[in-house]
Chain A
């Protein structure tokens, strides 16, 4: 009908599986309904999409599955408001809309031959999980892989089944932690805040890239720790998750200065973030 493309038009996808990660965090496995889209859809770790629940609107989540795993994508979201709560009411077999992939990505090829330290807090594991699986699927290309992941309480840890899998692998070092007061009697991880636990775990900064995702407060306290461990600002990557709507640099919502996080980000090095010296 229209020759020119409508950038706001989503592809339709069917919910193929649902996993409840925590009482309010859910993972959806989505399969595109159109065969051509299913075959042609590709993305890079770190990119996000706009997911729609028809009748409620769109919400921004990273693509949480790995680009190395084809045929489906996954998103993992916490129910906090209108769209996320409506997405939560959907069942296996229901349809959602997906626009994307959008934004830049983690430059994984640049990390070949290096060690990696992943540091995540709470619901911010999804944006790193895509990179973790991407790298584990190419395991020979990297040296040591360390994952430091913490949440408020044991119940708030997401991807529990995968944490177990990483814990059992001998080519990954997983340090799992919960805030003081958040551990049950059988908790087999550490008790403490992510920055403290990271400092104790003391991964070597030698030829190593650190990837940090979490609430702004966690990032704020983690960066000095990484600095003490010897990481430079160019070797630390994070994502900025400013509120978004269009995802394509039009709606004017996500800016930090003249950086459009949806276009120029969401992945930035600590050096880039510091250079912004603006509100985010």
Chain B
């Protein structure tokens, strides 16, 4: 049975979840930018703009402790992180390009060895996605198999309606449970007309064709042409909902400290540098090529998924104007 929730009840839902001691994260005006931040009340939620950074940090924090160590009476003791303390979380108001990313990252985090830091947060979270009506000409989610109204990755999916309320669809059991627990905030019915989507700047892309081209053009003048100007700042990776490279380092003394996992990026010059000085990706265009290859060929080859949700953030953030969608269009239009 379709459900409706009014905007006020959506905010009331957030208030209730906060009262239930859940970690509620959603788009919030933070200074002059909208970011995904913990909401302390329903009135914090803003759905006016796509948050500057993606929501992946709810599952995969920029930096997190993975163990602590301490020397006691001369002997070293290592203590695990108590993951049972990770909060029950609700991500609310994430458009498909963000709501969809954990569903993509699950593959790498759970093949063979399981990254329980990520997976425990995934288990304990519910994602309330929302159809996107705020797209701009950097968006290209349709081109990578999502859409402004794609439910993939959401547990509960909201569609903004012209009258200001939202049509709700429980996509998973977690979504059903969220509705069931707050039944009085939802009304039955299909609701009125949805708010129309904004047209996307990028046309249809043939990802199979792009993958094939990448397979056959590891060496190609295109890489120097487009990627020599990359400055390797890593902004594109840090802002991306799908990038997941990390480093592990200790902080503290030799007697007492923590080991932490923190974001890294394949665009950084030393990312693959061997201690011998040999660097397989010794120039910037090779590093940028790896970024494209990983997203549109390698990840797909290994896990059957495209490592990009078409959110367009890297396009908006790149200081030298490298445009991943334009590159994909260029490849897509190639004849050989």
Number of interface residues of B (CB under 8 A): 57
Of the stretches B2-10, B145-153, B200-208, B291-299, the one at the interface is B291-299
Q: Is B330 an interface residue (CB 8 A)?
A: no
Known: A242-B272, A249-B113, A253-B245. A2 touches B257 (CB 8 A): no
List residues of A (58-83) whose CB comes within 8 Å of B's CBs.
58, 78, 80-81
User: Chain A 236-272, CB within 8 Å of chain B: the 1/0 string?
Assistant: 0000011101101111110111101001000000000
Q: Is A56 an interface residue (CB 8 A)?
A: yes
Complex CA distance for A4 and B108, rounded to whole angstroms: 17
Q: Is A170 an interface residue (CB 8 A)?
A: no
Contact status A54-B245, CB under 8 Å: no
Contact status B67-A9, CB under 8 Å: yes
Q: Is A222 an interface residue (CB 8 A)?
A: no
Q: For the complex, would chain A's binding face be called helix, strand, loop or mixed by DSSP majority?
A: loop
Q: Is A278 an interface residue (CB 8 A)?
A: yes
Contact status A245-B248, CB under 8 Å: yes
Complex CA distance for A245 and B275, rounded to whole angstroms: 13
Contact status B275-A84, CB under 8 Å: yes
Q: Is B280 an interface residue (CB 8 A)?
A: yes
Given contacts A55-B257, A253-B264, 17 further A-B contacts (CB under 8 A): A4-B83, A4-B114, A4-B116, A6-B66, A7-B116, A9-B66, A12-B76, A54-B250, A56-B250, A57-B249, A95-B75, A246-B246, A248-B113, A250-B246, A251-B264, A257-B293, A258-B298
Known: A8-B261, A257-B298. A1 touches B80 (CB 8 A): yes
Complex CA distance for A153 and B238, rounded to whole angstroms: 45
**Residue of A at shortest CB range from B286?**
A279
Listed residue (B115, B253, B257) with the most chain A CB atoms within 10 angstroms of its CB: B115
User: Nearest 8 pairs between A and B by C-beta?
Assistant: A55-B254, A252-B245, A248-B113, A258-B298, A80-B275, A258-B301, A95-B76, A4-B116
Known: A12-B76, A250-B246, A279-B281. A2 touches B286 (CB 8 A): no
Chain A residues closer than 8 Å to B274, beta-carbon distance: 241-243
Interface residues of A (CB under 8 A from B): 1-2, 4-10, 12, 52-58, 78, 80-81, 84, 86, 95, 97, 215-216, 241-243, 245-246, 248-253, 255-258, 260, 263, 277-280
Q: Is B276 an interface residue (CB 8 A)?
A: yes
Q: Is B259 an interface residue (CB 8 A)?
A: yes
Q: For the complex, would chain B's binding face be called helix, strand, loop or mixed by DSSP majority?
A: mixed
Closest beta carbon of chain A to B233's beta carbon, Å: 18
List residues of B (62-86) whose CB comes within 8 Å of A's CBs.
66-67, 69, 75-76, 78, 80-84
Contact status B116-A6, CB under 8 Å: yes
Contact status B298-A255, CB under 8 Å: yes
Q: Is B220 an interface residue (CB 8 A)?
A: no
Chain A residues closer than 8 Å to B61, beta-carbon distance: none
Chain A residues closer than 8 Å to B247, beta-carbon distance: 245, 251
Chain A residues closer than 8 Å to B82, beta-carbon distance: 1-2
Q: Is B329 an interface residue (CB 8 A)?
A: no
Q: Is B302 an interface residue (CB 8 A)?
A: yes
**Residue of A at shortest CB range from B299?**
A258
Contact status B108-A249, CB under 8 Å: yes
Contact status B80-A54, CB under 8 Å: no
List residues of B (228-255) whose CB comes within 8 Å of A's CBs.
244-250, 252-255
**Residue of A at shortest CB range from B66?**
A8
User: Chain B 272-292, CB within 8 Å of chain A: the 1/0 string?
Assistant: 111110101100001000100
Contact status A6-B81, CB under 8 Å: yes
User: Chain B 282-322, CB within 8 Å of chain A: the 1/0 string?
Assistant: 00001000100110011101100000000000000000000
Closest beta carbon of chain A to B228's beta carbon, Å: 16
Chain B residues closer than 8 Å to A80, beta-carbon distance: 275-276
Chain B residues closer than 8 Å to A4, beta-carbon distance: 83, 114, 116, 119-120
Chain A residues closer than 8 Å to B252, beta-carbon distance: 55
Closest beta carbon of chain A to B328's beta carbon, Å: 19
Contact status B293-A7, CB under 8 Å: no
Q: Is B222 an interface residue (CB 8 A)?
A: no
Q: Is B109 an interface residue (CB 8 A)?
A: yes
Contact status B114-A58, CB under 8 Å: no
Closest beta carbon of chain A to B120's beta carbon, Å: 7
Complex CA distance for A53 and B252, rounded to whole angstroms: 12
Chain B residues closer than 8 Å to A249, beta-carbon distance: 108, 111-113
List residues of B (259-277) whose CB comes within 8 Å of A's CBs.
259, 261, 264, 266, 271-276
Chain B residues closer than 8 Å to A10, beta-carbon distance: 78
Closest beta carbon of chain B to A150's beta carbon, Å: 16
Complex CA distance for A260 and B107, rounded to whole angstroms: 14
Contact status A245-B119, CB under 8 Å: no
Closest beta carbon of chain A to B75's beta carbon, Å: 7
Complex CA distance for A246 and B262, rounded to whole angstroms: 12
**Residue of B at shortest CB range from A12?**
B76
Q: Is B197 an interface residue (CB 8 A)?
A: no
**Residue of A at shortest CB range from B287?**
A279
| Contact with A279, one of B83, B111, B261, B280 (Cβ below 8 angstroms) | B280
Contact status B67-A278, CB under 8 Å: no
Complex CA distance for A84 and B276, rounded to whole angstroms: 13
Chain B residues closer than 8 Å to A56, beta-carbon distance: 250, 254
Chain A residues closer than 8 Å to B301, beta-carbon distance: 257-258
